[in-house]
Amino acid sequence: MAFDGISISGSGITANRLWMNVIAENLANAQSTVTPQGGPYRSQSVVMAEGMAPAAGFGQTLARAATAPGVHVARIVTSPAPLRLVYDPASPLANAAGYVKKPNVNQVTQLTDMMVASQSYDANVTALSDAEAADQAALKMGQGV
């Protein structure tokens, strides 16, 4: 397929953008002790899978898998890691022992993941630009220019 490089890079850009959004949400909620669901925020992460995002029906999914390489975010999972306990007996959220449950967001890990996701995003943008330039050069050669 002539446009594999473009579709592969495009899928990587889309997946990495979503990954960076999830990381940003984790960092923004690193101190959120009360959420609409109740309790502290729980860190989330993305699970990527080979191939393009599944289509509506099985036949469409099978056809896309056979013809469209790339990557997609298969799902977003909530971390099972235990919440942090911080001693703060003055807090209205403290338990009987004086501990407050805090989010399980590890900011160092999140920032490291952000750097990886950002570099992967940049690499996909570069690959997309290179693939587009190669396609344009091929079109010019075909025109005799």
Residue 133 confidence (pLDDT): 84
**Average pLDDT of every residue of the chain:** 87
- pLDDT above 90: residue 79: yes
Q: What string of H, E and C letters represents the secondary structure of the chain?
A: CCCHHHHHHHHHHHHHHHHHHHHHHHHHCCCCCCCCCCCCCCCEEEEEEECCCCCCCHHHHHHHHHHCCCEEEEEEEECCCCCEEEECCCCCCCCCCCEEEECCCCHHHHHHHHHHHHHHHHHHHHHHHHHHHHHHHHHHHHHCC
Residue 68 confidence (pLDDT): 64
- Lowest mean per-residue pLDDT among 45-54, 63-72, 103-112, 119-128: 63-72
- pLDDT above 70: residue 83: yes
Give the start-to-end residue ranges of the domains of the chain.
4-133
Residue with more model confidence, 103 or 144: 103
